[in-house]
Structure 1
Amino acid sequence: MTTPHLARTPYRTLGRSGTVVFEQALGTMTFGSEADEPTSHAIIDFYVAAGGNLIDTADIYSAGRSEEIIGRWLAAHPSEAAGIVLATKGRFPTGPGPNEVGTSRRHLRTALESSLRRLGVEHIDLYQMHAWDAITPVDETLSFLDDAISAGKIGYYGFSNFTGWQLTKATMLAERRGWSAPVTLQPQYSLLVRGIEHEIVPAALDAGIGLLPWSPLGGGWLSGKYLRDVRPEGATRLGENPERGMEAWKQRNEDPRTWQIVDAVAEIAEAHGASSSQVALAWLVAQPGVTSVILGARSVEQMRDNLGAVELELTAEESEKLTAVSAPAIDDYPYGTPGRAQRHRGLSR
């Protein structure tokens, strides 16, 4: 199999930990659903051969099949598996019972053991809470995670889909109790979705937490595969399954900001002889706090194109253009107060 020639293989520390990961992580939500096992294994082969070492999954991806597919690849490639930084998640329902969901000690104990079994390993490098649990006390969750680290079942832990206050509360509680601190946060983040820059990014930077953005291509919009006012068809997720999110597609299609961003990305891509996906990824990986962007793929061809972003260097002017055209709205209080707007214009009262 032909692998890409990378001018560099950039690695970064996993948040404030000492573990080093590739700046592009392999997301595996497609494994077992949109990518069958042979295709999934081929994607892993290609990713690892290109220098990638961070594989991210979750217990609910394809009802556990994603973890099983990864587990069989790890078992079949023991030498390569030794270099993999393995990440998974727990939180969402794994059964019909009232205790088969959430971040309680009871549910996480069974969820973690099940993930270890499906992955065929005794240790998971990064165990992530897939979302906030408003019912379980935070100290119960953090105490379990600290115990899991002490027991050698996980190396680190992180969160996904947390707000700024939730992230700060958990981080400060862990510090106050003397427990192991979180090292990562998985938020949705891309040129199209930058709302986390208001509170979540500052909270993560303050705590030394690394960001692992999911949906870095905005659900495919930043790849350039969607056309203005043209309903998706063919080999796209919405084309194959229109009910999946057609209403969201309509809203994004009707938003002028979407096409300003898509057009700017395409223009820069043409100047570099690169793909739109590569430009969008190159911008995102350079943002403050970003450790590694999570790339989902349904084929080796998609993974090959995405990995090409590692070779792409945007100029300062290009990065500034993308940042300006995609700037998130700050009209709402407290971000858009009159005083703040005047200060942004260099005025004072």
Structure 2
Amino acid sequence: MKDFFQSRLRVSQSSLTALILIAVMLGIFVFDTVTDYAIAAASFHICIILIAVRLLSRRTVIWFAWACVILTIVSFYLTRSGDFEVGLINTIISIIAIIITTYLGLLVVSAQAAAHKTREHLLRLARVTTLGQLTASIAHEINQPLAAIATSANACNRWLSFDPPNVEKAQAAVERIAGEAHRASEVLQRMRSLARGEETKKTIFDLNQSIAEIVSLSQREIDNLKIETELSLPQNLGLAYADKIQIQQVLGNLVLNALDAIAQHNPEHKLLEIIAAQENQRFLSVTIKDNGTGLSHDAQEQLFDAFYTTKAGGFGLGLTICRSIIEANGGQISVKSTLGLGTEMKFTLPAVKG
């Protein structure tokens, strides 16, 4: 019913507009007829066409154009004063102007309609792309706790297969599985909040402890690659004020990227450094250094762009998410790298004042 009334309203508005334009068109015809040939009053029909093009349908615009042309010719024959040749020239110019204006006006309307259709198509593509980005982001972020769950499950199975079973260590593995499952749930919750643009859940926490937890989770990979780890975690470091789960996501991403870079480069002495520092009274900083493959200048400029990756099977979203998280928590992230010599990733976080 509502659509019916809206449709009738649009028809009524179009009819009213057409009646007004007809009245103005007849007024121009009368004025053109009673004035001298030298006064090209018929050129005012162009205004009628321009208004019709904007407010009326294509078929109605063409009808108005023909009506304007016919009235211009009739007016020329009915006019009795002035130079006939001047009147003929003015009439021809007016008719040409009416035809050209109609053609160009309809062309513009067609172009606008095509542009509108293209925008709608791009919006649909954007929605699909956004869905793909969100799916890839979730898959990327949830991969870490899932990998830890799988590792702990295998360890638990080994402890239980002993004769007699090592129940104490199996229980510890089960506790790690429960912890990682909870962490995966929190990661999904934070990803959903980030996608919706919700405020981050900032708390006061010990940054050193968060770094130690992430290094502990990555210890198996560190040991397998035989990487030396150097941690510089000052005891007098202030407390951070940010979303702890999100910051641990960032730390986990950056540590794994560093391990991948070291494994790919495979230097004789493999080294991972993590340095926490008090930048000033307002900010803390974390620097993660590796002596891996390093990055070219072009790669550094695009490193935080969505879908840009230096890994063969990478999504190209990890560092984009890291930057979004750090900036949402009031910090900044940057990169310094030399190709073949390693990479230094640094981010800052607000510190608790006082």
- Regarding TM over 0.5, the answer is no
Superposition TM-score, scaled by structure 2 size:
0.19
Superposition TM-score, scaled by structure 1 size:
0.20
Structure with higher helix content: 2
* Larger RCO (CA within 8 A; separation ≥ 6): 1
Structure with the greater alpha carbon radius of gyration: 2
